[in-house]
Structure 1
Amino acid sequence: MEDLVLVAREGKIATVTINRPNQLNALNGATIAALSSTMVELESDDDVRVIILTGSGEKSFVAGADIKEFANYSVEEGKELARKGHETLFNLIENLKKPVIAAVNGFALGGGLELAMSCHVRVASDNARMGLPEVSLGVIPGYGGTQRLPQLVGKGKAMEMIMTAGMIKADDALQWGLVNYVVSQDQLMEKCVEIASKTVANSGVAIATAMKAVNAGFQTGVNGFEAEIDAFGEAFGTDEFSEGTTAFIEKRKPEFK
């Protein structure tokens, strides 16, 4: 049996590839579990600073969840499916201490788009198609789609995408703010590596803290400005702050550990 998830390392960048090309990389329970354990492992790997997440082949990032797995679920089983998905993978990625860049190479539908939206940056190939088709199956997005999509594209566009269950093209996704860049298929990984390389040069501790502060602003009952103030102050007590400021004063490049 082939591995559901492949990992390649180059320098401080790890590329994670969902490896179910014959199923357009659809997310089943086993794949979600494999992705989750891979992300946890990479987060604790000091040699990895940035993660790029993509799907195998050129047709699909992730074409959705594996519907056959849950077609006969009960109400309680449905709730548990969504809850477990949030905790195991989607919230895990969003709150990871290392940046995750989604290389959206083709279809990103349903759980696939929700997976891309849980990442910190999204780059799409020009053949990418994105959408949340769940209402056409009599269900709703259950892996964060009703929450993260409005954060990225606004309430009105999110309502339209969810209600129509339609796919949008990469250029529309760029215009709406759903993705950061659109490039040709053969330039997709190159663009992701470019962003990752710029990120690697900076303080990993500061980046992790900044991402946590940004996420705080989207949490109910949390004051994002207060979270930023606390995180900003705490940065002054880190070795990386000392190195960064010393390097600036000495007019040299910092060497972050």
Structure 2
Amino acid sequence: MGEFVRLEVDGGIGTIRLERPPVNAINGQLQAELGEVAREASDRADVRVVILYGGEKTFCGGADVKEMADRSYVEARAFGTALQNTVSTVAVIPKPVIAAITGYALGGGLELAMAADRRIAGDNVKVGQPEILLGIIPGAGGTQRLARLVGPAKAKDLVFTGRFVKADEALSLGIVDELVAPDEVYNAALKYAQQFANGPAVALANAKAAIDGGLDGDLASGLKLETHLFTALWATEDQTTGMRSFVENGPGKATFEGK
């Protein structure tokens, strides 16, 4: 485990914890550790679902501006590329990923949250892409994932102004998917994650790949991808177990031990 990022595994649920007080600002070391932990979570068979969590006070305040300020063009490009790659590594974890958001998710912190498949937030959170106020733009996927979540016009408003968005607006825009009391954020994420801890792991991975891959191309390409991933499941224990259980016990009775 790294100094700033660690993976805790319990009952099929892997929690990726950011631990760089006070706001989990992303410096070069945290970025590198996060990439390593995300790859570990992807590879471990005992991790069936992932929670991203920054602790009770804040999710992630974004990139470490003090570290960034004096970087040269070459250094900034290297860090930006590495951070974007790390966030993308989180996004392609072949398992459901839930962001448990407390406090603030700003800049790179919001970009990390948007790499998750579902975002559960405290009803006092503030999110945003304030990079424009620093004379830069989002560089870890913010211009792309935000536009896909809320549409280009709303994404431009948020990126152009750099304003902070409160919880209720974040919910209405679709930036977050669920609001709970601030002290219930992790428990709510855990409750949501538990339904996947013994679920059909390969089918879930294929479902995620089909949806995410389809968004990258046209409808025809997406349909071909869906057909490929759909039929591939006939070579897995997920399909055998699920359909046999359905036939024998009826819907809602399947127990999965697929690989």
TM-score normalised over the length of structure 1: 0.93
1:173 has 2:170 as partner: yes
The residue correspondences of 1:197-208 to structure 2 (distance < 5 A) are 197-208=194-205
For 1:254, the equivalent position in structure 2 comes to 255
The residue correspondences of 1:211-222 to structure 2 (distance < 5 A) are 211-220=208-217
8 A Cα contact 1:114 1:143, kept in partner: yes
CA deviation after TM superposition for structure 1 residue 243, in Å? 0.9
CA deviation after TM superposition for structure 1 residue 202, in Å? 2.3
Of the three residues 148, 158, 162, the one matched with 2:159 is: 162
Deviation track 1:206-241 (CA, whole Å, cap 9, x = no partner) reads 011111111112225782121111111111221211
CA deviation after TM superposition for structure 1 residue 26, in Å? 0.5
Deviation larger for 11-20 or 129-138: 11-20
Letter in 1 for 2:149: L
Aligned length: 253
8 A Cα contact 2:38 2:90, kept in partner: yes
Letter in 1 for 2:71: Y
Letter in 2 for 1:216: G
For 1:6, the equivalent position in structure 2 comes to 6
1:245 has 2:243 as partner: yes
Of the three residues 172, 176, 187, the one matched with 2:184 is: 187
8 A Cα contact 1:108 1:130, kept in partner: yes
The residue correspondences of 1:1-257 to structure 2 (distance < 5 A) are 3-22=3-22, 24-58=23-57, 60-87=58-85, 89-220=86-217, 223-251=221-249, 252-257=253-258
8 A Cα contact 1:20 1:56, kept in partner: no
8 A Cα contact 1:21 1:56, kept in partner: no
CA deviation after TM superposition for structure 1 residue 79, in Å? 2.6
Identity %: 37
8 A Cα contact 1:5 1:17, kept in partner: yes
Letter in 2 for 1:15: T
CA deviation after TM superposition for structure 1 residue 185, in Å? 1.2
Deviation track 1:148-193 (CA, whole Å, cap 9, x = no partner) reads 0011111111111111101001111111111110000121112101
2-structure distance, mates of 1:75, 1:255: 50
2-structure distance, mates of 1:96, 1:180: 19
2-structure distance, mates of 1:80, 1:16: 24
Secondary structure of 2:24's partner?
Answer: coil
Q: Which runs of 5+ in 1 are unaligned?
A: none
CA deviation after TM superposition for structure 1 residue 242, in Å? 0.8
1-structure distance, mates of 2:3, 2:72: 30
2-structure distance, mates of 1:21, 1:84: 22
Deviation larger for 132-141 or 191-200: 191-200
8 A Cα contact 2:241 2:254, kept in partner: no
Letter in 1 for 2:109: G
Deviation larger for 177-186 or 42-51: 42-51
1-structure distance, mates of 2:10, 2:159: 38
2-structure distance, mates of 1:62, 1:212: 26
Letter in 2 for 1:152: L
Q: CA RMSD in A?
A: 1.6
CA deviation after TM superposition for structure 1 residue 81, in Å? 2.1
